[in-house]
Amino acid sequence: MRLMAKLIIIIAVFLAGFYVGHNQIWEPTLPINTNQEEEVSEQTVSLMFDFGNGEVKTFDDITIEGQPTVFDVLKRVTAENDIEFLYKDYGSDLGVFIESINNVGNNTSLDRFWQYWVNNQYAKIGASSYRLKPGDVIEWKYTKGQFNS
C-alpha cells in the first residue's frame, strides 16, 4: 500500500510539472501592465532675439516635429507671441531675408542687420534652408554685418 501511495504521489507531481511546463512553453505570455505610460521625449529647440540695445527675448522648449527650418520656427514663434516680423522671399535659390523683427528693421547705413546663429555658430545659409535638430539653440541678433568681416 505504501508503494502504491508513493507511486500516485510521483505520478501526480510528474503530471503537475508537465502541465505547468506545457503551459509555460505553449501559451503566449502577455505583457504585464504597469499602468505607466511610456515616456515620450519631446524634441525641442530654443529661440532668442537680441535687439542690439540690451533687450533680449527668449523662447525655450519649442516643440518641433521632423526637421523644420529656422524660418519655420521663426514664423511660428512670432505668430504665437504676437511679434511682428517682415521678410522678403527671394525664391528657392536665395530663400528669405529677414527685414524686421518687432519693429526693429535692417539699417544699411549703419550696417546693422538681422542675422542668426545656431548653437553659437554663425549660419552660412539662409534661414529657410537651415534644417534644425532637437536641442538646437537659435539666436537672432540685430548686429553689424558678419559677411564683411
Pick from 51, 69, 47, 46: which is nearest to 114 by CA? 51
**pLDDT for the residue 38:** 45
Instruction: Provide the grid cell at 79.
Output: 505668430
Cell numbers given for 22: 506545457
Cβ 100 vs Cβ 128: under 8 Å: no
d(CA 64, CA 72): 10
pLDDT of residue 6: 64
Report, as ranges of residue numbers, the positions in the chain whose pLDDT lies below 50: 36-40, 149
Q: Which domains are assigned to the chain?
A: 44-144 (2.170.130.30)
The pLDDT score that the predictor gives to residue 15 is 62
**What pLDDT is stored for residue 148 in this prediction?**
55
